[in-house]
Structure 1
Amino acid sequence: MTYKQWLATTRYGIRSFDEIDEVDSLYVMTFSTGAPLLINHIADLKSPEKKLKGAVMISAAIKAKNRLAFLAPAAQYFVPWSTVFPEEDAVRYETFSTHAAAEFYKLTKNLLDKKYRFKLPLFIAISADDDTVSAEAALKYFCSAETDTKRMVWYQHADTNKKEKLAYFDEGKGACKQNIFVREAEEIGLPDYYKSFAHTALSVPPSDPHYGVNGAYKQCKHYFEDKDFKEFEECKRAVLPSFVVGETTDSFKERYGGIKSIRRGVYNPDYETMETEIFSFIGSID
Structure 2
Amino acid sequence: MFKFKINGFFILFLFFLASCAPKPSFLKESGSPSGVPSYPDLPFSQYVQDSRENIEQILRNLRFANGAKPYLGEYSAAQAAEMRGPFEHLPEKGSTGPGKGKGFLLIHGLTDSPYLMRSIADSLHQAYPNGTIRAVLLPGHGTVAGDSLNMKHTDWMAITDYGVRSFEKMERISDLYLVGFSTGTALAIRHLQNNPQRPKIKGLILISTAVKAKSGAAFLSPYLYWVKDWLDTFEERDAARYESFSVNAGAEFYLLTKNIMKSKILIDVPVLMAVSADDETIDANAARQFFCDRVTAQRRGLIWYASRHAERNIDPPCEAIKEVKLGPVDREFQGTVYRFANYAHTALSMSPADPHYGVNGKYHQCKAYDTPPDMAAFNKCQKGSAKTIFGEKDIASKAAKKELDYDYWRRGTFNPDYPRLERAIICFVDEACDLQRSLDDQ
Taking structure 1 as the reference length, the TM-score comes to 0.90
Change (3 A) 1:68 1:124: same
Q: How far apart are residue 247 of structure 1 and its match?
A: 0.5
Structure having the higher Rg: 2
Matched with 2:408 is 261
Matched with 2:170 is 20
Matched with 1:214 is 360
Matched with 1:111 is 260
Matched ranges for 1:169-208 at <5 A: 169=315, 171-172=316-317, 176=318, 178-186=319-327, 190-191=331-332, 193-208=339-354
Distance in 1, matches of 2:432 and 2:227, equals: 48
Deviations 1:136-185 (A, max 9, x none): 01101111112222100000232xx3332x22x1x22xxx2x30111112
Change (3 A) 1:24 1:219: same
Change (3 A) 1:188 1:242: closer
Change (3 A) 1:117 1:187: farther
User: Which AA in structure 2 matches 1:222?
Assistant: A
User: Which AA in structure 1 matches 2:165?
Assistant: R
Pick from 237, 240, 248 the counterpart of residue 393 of structure 2: 248
Deviations 1:18-76 (A, max 9, x none): 1112211111111000111111111112x511211001011111111111111100001
Matched with 2:19 is none
Instruction: Decide whether the 8 Å contact of 2:395 with 2:401 is kept in 1.
Output: no
Q: How far apart are residue 227 of structure 1 and its match?
A: 5.5
Q: How far apart are residue 225 of structure 1 and its match?
A: 3.9
Instruction: Decide whether the 8 Å contact of 1:25 with 1:52 is kept in 2.
Output: yes
Distance in 2, matches of 1:253 and 1:210, equals: 29
3-state DSSP of counterpart to 2:345: coil
Distance in 2, matches of 1:152 and 1:185, equals: 16
Matched with 1:272 is 419
Matched ranges for 1:7-86 at <5 A: 7-45=157-195, 47-86=196-235
Distance in 1, matches of 2:179 and 2:228, equals: 33
Q: How far apart are residue 226 of structure 1 and its match?
A: 7.0
Q: How far apart are residue 253 of structure 1 and its match?
A: 5.7
Deviations 1:197-227 (A, max 9, x none): 0011000001111111111100010222476
Matched, 1:163 2:308: no
Matched with 2:304 is 154
3-state DSSP of counterpart to 2:428: helix
Change (3 A) 1:196 1:141: same
Matched with 2:374 is 228
Instruction: Decide whether the 8 Å contact of 2:396 with 2:409 is kept in 1.
Output: no
Change (3 A) 1:86 1:130: same
User: Which AA in structure 2 matches 1:247?
Assistant: E
Q: How far apart are residue 280 of structure 1 and its match?
A: 2.0
Instruction: Decide whether the 8 Å contact of 1:157 with 1:195 is kept in 2.
Output: no
Matched, 1:238 2:388: no
User: Which AA in structure 2 matches 1:236?
Assistant: Q
3-state DSSP of counterpart to 2:285: helix
Instruction: Decide whether the 8 Å contact of 1:197 with 1:268 is kept in 2.
Output: yes
Q: How far apart are residue 104 of structure 1 and its match?
A: 0.4
Distance in 2, matches of 1:99 and 1:40, equals: 20
3-state DSSP of counterpart to 2:167: helix
Aligned-pair Cα RMSD in Å: 2.1
Matched, 1:137 2:137: no
Instruction: Decide whether the 8 Å contact of 1:157 with 1:186 is kept in 2.
Output: no
Change (3 A) 1:251 1:235: closer
Structure 2 unaligned spans of 5+:
1-150, 333-337, 434-442
User: Which AA in structure 1 matches 2:346?
Assistant: T
